[in-house]
Amino acid sequence: MGLLAYCRPGFEGECAQELTAHAATTGGGGFARTERGSGFVELVMPDAATHSNASEVSWRTLIFARQLLQTLGRVERMPREDRLATLLPIIEQTPQRWRDAWIESPDSDEGRELAPLCRALNAALITAMKRKRLLDADSPKRLHICLTAPDAAIVASADIEESAPWPGGIPRLKFPRGAPSRSTLKLEEAFLVLLDDDERARWLKPAMTAVDLGAAPGGWTWQLVRRSIRTIAIDNGPMDAALMESGLVEHRRVDGFRFQPPRAVDWLVCDMVEQPRRIATLVAQWLAQRWCRRAIFNLKLPMKKRYDEVQLCFAILRDAISDTGGTIDLRAKQLYHDREEITVFAALD
């Protein structure tokens, strides 16, 4: 039938643009259906396309989608006293058995009000699915019911390997005690979402080195120091005193656009509030000059043409690296802890 993506409310337009573009390049086509502020986008595809590569667009490659599911059906006017009576026959009609089932709601104001109902229904659904033998621990699929109103839902399916492993596509991170700013959660989420287990183990090791551009008061530096990575923190503003006592941070009050590292580092991270294309040009320079091996940075998006701006920034990065004869591994997401911005991982291949 199509695809269902969850996104940050207010970014449905960008998510729709991105889904449509991916479906077109994978040979599917289709049109996006969404409502501003709803926190989700549906891509309605012609029947044939559902079975083509278009349904193989992965959550990992999408920037504005927190989760990506295949839609199975829509239900409206569910009786409030017994919603499962409507949902179960739809689930039983599919030949599929399910590893798990999640009832969730979009990250909109209305969606958040439905969260307690989702929790209560989820417990009842699992009990009913067990009774009807619809669950199978070896199944590669997870069932999703997205409640869009108290009496309406979209029934969908996820490939467990190709979807976000968190309900709603939102990793719930606890603010770490001692971290100097809430921004710290952005870098923690970036490590979790943009890297896999193996990459985290290989690329975030003690005694590695990093530069943090726009570091004050030190939330991102704190994440590096927590992994025993020695960090040069660049910012005119003051750094958190306790963080400086770690002995792993060197604070320099210089312009992040002019600073050059005394020797190459493993990581560049950058959270400076600046025009996205200026940041992309700066990171491209760091990678092209081999001043760093890998980078994670934020692109603060303008209000208009945000999707186009991201494409332009990616072109700046790709062109700069191809001019040196190399290729670049680019991954990006609008993280749950991001606001009007996205977070990008870039490395030389």
Q: Which residues are catalytic?
A: 300
Token pair 């009990």 is at which residue? Answer: 127
Nearer to ligand SAM, 215 or 328 (CB): 215
As measured in angstroms, the least distance from the Cβ of 283 to ligand SAM is 14
Q: Which of 28, 168, 218, 276 binds ligand SAM (CB under 6 A)?
A: 218
Question: Please, which of residues 234-253 interact with ligand SAM by CB under 6 A?
Answer: 234-237
Q: Which of 6, 220, 314, 345 binds ligand SAM (CB under 6 A)?
A: 220
- Nearest-angstrom CA–CA distance, 225 and 308: 35
- Nearest-angstrom CA–CA distance, 347 and 145: 37
Interface region with ligand SAM, contact rule CB under 6 A, candidates 5-13, 27-35, 212-220, 320-328:
212-220
271 binds ligand SAM (CB under 6 A): yes
- Nearest-angstrom CA–CA distance, 296 and 166: 22
Phi, psi angle pair for 73, to nearest 5°: 180, 170
Nearer to ligand SAM, 9 or 219 (CB): 219
Interface region with ligand SAM, contact rule CB under 6 A, candidates 89-97, 122-130, 142-150, 265-273:
265-273
Cis status of the peptide bond prior to 140, with omega within 30 of 0: no
Interface region with ligand SAM, contact rule CB under 6 A, candidates 9-17, 92-100, 147-155, 270-278:
270-278
**Site size for ligand SAM (CB under 6 A):** 22
Q: Is 273 strand, coil or helix?
A: coil
Q: Which of 50, 122, 139, 181 binds ligand SAM (CB under 6 A)?
A: 181
- Nearest-angstrom CA–CA distance, 74 and 82: 17
Look at strands 209-213 and 230-234 and give their pairing.
parallel
267 binds ligand SAM (CB under 6 A): no
219 binds ligand SAM (CB under 6 A): yes
256 binds ligand SAM (CB under 6 A): yes
Q: Which amino acid, one-letter code, is at 279? A: I
- Cβ pair 243, 184 in contact under 8 A: no
- Cβ pair 139, 157 in contact under 8 A: no
Question: Please, which of residues 46-75 interact with ligand SAM by CB under 6 A?
Answer: none
Nearer to ligand SAM, 7 or 213 (CB): 213
3 binds ligand SAM (CB under 6 A): no
In sequence order, what are the residues at sequence separation of 6 or more whose Cβ sits closer than 8 angstroms to the Cβ of residue 199? none
Q: Which of 326, 342, 347, 258 is nearest to 66 (CA)?
A: 342
Phi, psi angle pair for 2, to nearest 5°: 160, -165
As measured in angstroms, the least distance from the Cβ of 68 to ligand SAM is 29
257 binds ligand SAM (CB under 6 A): yes
14 binds ligand SAM (CB under 6 A): no
Alpha carbon dihedral 283, 286, 287, 292, in 10-degree steps, equals -110
As measured in angstroms, the least distance from the Cβ of 170 to ligand SAM is 20
183 binds ligand SAM (CB under 6 A): yes
Look at strands 249-252 and 152-159 and give their pairing.
unpaired
Nearer to ligand SAM, 124 or 254 (CB): 254
Radius of gyration of the chain (CA): 22
Q: Which of 23, 87, 194, 216 binds ligand SAM (CB under 6 A)?
A: 216
Residue 128: CB atoms within 10 Å: 16
Q: Which of 105, 184, 231, 343 binds ligand SAM (CB under 6 A)?
A: 184
Please report, as ranges, the residues that interact with ligand SAM according to CB under 6 A: 180-181, 183-184, 213-220, 234-237, 255-257, 271-273
